[in-house]
Structure formats: C-alpha cells, structure tokens
Amino acid sequence: MILLETVHELRAWRHQAGRVLLVPTMGALHEGHASLVREARRLAGDSARVAATIFVNPLQFGPNEDFDRYPRTLEADLRLCEEAGADLVFAPPVHEVYHPDRSISITESSLSTVLCGASRPGHFDGVCTVVAKLFNLVQPDEALFGRKDYQQLAVIRRLVRDLDIPVVIHGVETVREPDGLAMSSRNRYLTPEERAQAPALQAALRRARDAWLAGEQDVPRLLRAIREHVAVNAPLCREDYVSIVDPGSLQPLARVEHHAVALLAFWFGRARLIDNLELRR
C-alpha cells in the first residue's frame, strides 16, 4: 500500500492508476471504515485500484466544535486500510487541500437545512466543498460512504447530481457492535455508564419501525415511541433531534405510508451520536 501526502504525488499516481474506487474518511478509523474499504476492494476486483483519503476537514467544524481535539490516529488508520485492501492512502496536510487565501466554496441550500444541518450550520457546506475537492484530486470512478450518516449520503448524492460529477456513489450498510450501537469514532468519548445506555438509540428506532409495521402511520405517535424508549433506557443522554422524514427530500412527514427514514441525534456528555433506520416493507 502506498501513502501519499501531496497533490503532486497523487496526480502522478492517478495518471497510471486506471479505474479507481474511493473511500473518503476523516481518520480515527474503526471497523465501519474497514467495511467500506473491503466493499471497495470487492467491487474493484483485481483490475481496479482502491484509494482511501484521511483528512480532518476544518470546514466541517463549527465555532463550538474543536477541530484540534478531533482524534488523529494515522499509524493505526494506515494498518486498517492496508489490512482491508486499500492500494493507496492520501493523507494530506491542510495546506495541500486549501489555499490560505481560498475564496470559493460550495453551499447546499435544501437537504442541509434540517436534522444535523439545523444544529450544525455550515457543516454540510464544508462536506460538499471537501468532497468535491477530493473528487477533483483523486478523480475516482466510484466512491463509497456509510449509511450511518444518512443525511451526509443524501447530500453527496445531490452534490454529484447537481454538479454533474461523474462518480457513482455507493451507500454501505452501518456496521454495529454486537449490542446494536453504530460504530463511530465518537464512541470512544462515552463513559462506561453512557456506553451501556447508548444501544437504546437503535432499539428505540426499531421500536418505531415495529409499530409502523404493525399498522401505526401517525408520525407524532411514532416519534413519541422513540422518545419514551430513550427516556426510560438512556436517561444520561439529551436530545438533539428525533425525526421521521421523506428519504428523498429529508423533509418531515406527518404520516408514513410506504417509505420513510427515522433519524435521531443525542448527546451523551460530549459525544454526539447519530443513527437512523429506514421504514419500508
């Protein structure tokens, strides 16, 4: 596996690489990221190359979010990428990605106005800008993102559609701990007591799905079922949002008839955990 840190090196590699599948990450990798790289390796076969990027994007951090404290575990991340089948890791310093006098960025004005975007203004503009830059730099044919961040995946699909970027986007299923907790770099911030309660988030979403499959279509009642389960089983957390939305527009629904997505975000101390579950028959 090759490690590159400069745009010049990356462009030289890309010139002779052929078909490329990309897995963009911010590092602090775990089994969820490994599953993305392994899926890219499976899709690539023996004829294509798998590239991963490790870049802590400062544009994704709001004024109350500490960019400098984001975990950086490059040595362990490189081992994970190599074991999962990556051919290349591009891990540039910030000055390789952003010019000091940069003056152009990308703004998303619809999908990012709700859910995580409502509580993290500017976050998805940062996501769009860095993903577009990484697509320009790596020039992948396909790219893989986890379904755990459902909103991010929707925004990236819209980015590719609206800007006519010739990259096929794959959404990969969320990897979970045995007790149902979605794997996340933020899980390391949980205390033992918080970690014991955190699986209640996914359990609450499953409770709402079961109620819907049993015939309940009223969204306020489904949301109440989620909140009641979390309140009883995870009293240490506080809500950021709970919502059931249209999977295309991400706008809140009043009733669920055929297909929707239930999403939530809760704070456990300084760890903000997100999860989602599709409601579909």
Residues 116-174 have pLDDT tens digits of: 999 899 999 999 999 999 999 999 999 999 999 999 999 999 999 999 999 999 999 99
What's the CA gap between 92 and 6, in Å, rounded?
Answer: 6
Q: Report whether pLDDT(64) > 80.
A: no
Q: Report whether pLDDT(68) > 90.
A: no
What is the pLDDT at residue 5?
Answer: 98
What is the pLDDT at residue 159?
Answer: 98
What is the pLDDT at residue 21?
Answer: 98
CATH topology of domain 2-172: Rossmann fold (3.40.50)
With a CB cutoff of 8 Å and minimum separation 6, the contacts of 215 are none
Kindly report, residue by residue over 116-127, the tens digit of the pLDDT.
999 899 999 999
CA 15 to chain CA mean position, Å:
29
Taking CA atoms, 191 is separated from 50, 233, 236, in Å, by 36, 16, 10
What's the CA gap between 165 and 107, in Å, rounded?
Answer: 16
Question: Please, what is the average pLDDT of the chain?
Answer: 96
Q: Report whether pLDDT(237) > 90.
A: yes
Q: Report whether pLDDT(65) > 80.
A: no
> Does the active-site annotation cover 33?
yes
Catalytic residue selected from 15, 30, 33, 123: 33
Q: Are 11 and 138 in contact (CB under 8 A)?
A: no
The domain limits of the chain are 2-172, 185-276
Q: Report whether pLDDT(62) > 90.
A: no
Query: 3-state SS string over 69-92?
Result: HCCCCHHHHHHHHHHHCCCEEECC
b/e map 233-250, b = 16+ CB within 10 Å? bbebbeebebbbbeeeeb
CATH topology of domain 185-276: Pantoate--beta-alanine Ligase; Chain: A,domain 2 (3.30.1300)
- pTM for the full model? 0.95
